[in-house]
Amino acid sequence: MVRNIPYHVKDMQRASIMPIIHEVATMTAKGQITLPRTIRQALGVDVGAKVTFELHENGQVVVSRADAGHEDPAIAAFLDLLAGDIRAGRHVRAMPDDLARSMLDHAGRESQAGEDIDGDVDL
């Protein structure tokens, strides 16, 4: 017998976040856990590596390599190309002083995406 059951958004959302790997770790009395081997291998971490934990509003915890900032293949390829040019001394010029000063002045300054921009903007 085939039943016609409509999909609900909640069910579709649950299906879209199904884990690729599911492991269980036991917390010690000191509040420590050992990342299971399959998770360590998937993250590419070894002894001494740092991982980050992000707790989302829905209670989901995301564990990532702490240095996993540029995993995009296009960015990685660009950074490799740039590193090669720097090593070879090609296409490398000194940064203009005014740009360097402006970057230092704004380093560490927090900004909001909706924040108004003062002055002219050249695109």
The domains of the chain are located at 21-65, 73-106
**CATH 2.10.260.10 matches 21-65:** yes
CA distance 99 to 64: 34
> What's the whole-model pTM score?
0.42
pLDDT in tens, the chain (123 residues): 444 444 443 444 444 556 688 899 999 999 999 999 999 998 888 888 889 888 989 988 888 888 765 566 777 788 888 888 888 888 777 888 888 888 888 887 776 777 777 788 776
> Of 49, 44, 39, which Cα lies nearest the Cα of 71?
44
**Using the 8-state DSSP alphabet, how is residue 18 labeled?**
-
CA distance 53 to 64: 7
